[in-house]
Structure 1
Amino acid sequence: MTAQPHGPAVTLTPQEMRVSLHNDRSPRNIRACLPVTDHMAFDEQYREALRRAADELDLTPLHQCVESWRRLAIVKTDPGGYAQMMESAERIQRQVERGESTDGVVWDDAFTERLRARAAGGR
Structure 2
Amino acid sequence: MTAAEHVEEGPTSEHPLLIGTSPKTITDHLFPEDRTRFNADYESALDDARRTYDLTGVHQVVEHWRQVAVLQSDPASFRESVRAVAEIVTGVPTPQGESFEVTRQKAGM
TM-score relative to the length of structure 1: 0.59
More helix by share: 1
CA 1:67–1:57: 2 relative to 1, 3 Å: same
**Residue in structure 2 matching 1:19, options 15, 23, 43:** 15
Structure 2 gaps of 5+ residues are 1-12, 92-109
User: How does 1:1-123 map onto structure 2 within 5 Å?
Assistant: 19-22=15-18, 25-95=21-91
- Aligned-residue Cα RMSD (Å) equals 1.8
Q: Which runs of at least 4 in structure 1 moved beyond 2 Å after TM superposition?
A: none
Shift of 1:35: 2.0
- Contact 2:19/2:63 (<8 A) preserved: no
- Where structure 1 has 5 or more consecutive residues not aligned to the other structure, the ranges are 1-15, 96-123
- Of all paired residues, the percent bearing the same amino acid is 30
Partners of 2:82 and 2:48 lie apart in 1 by 30
Paired residues in the alignment total 79
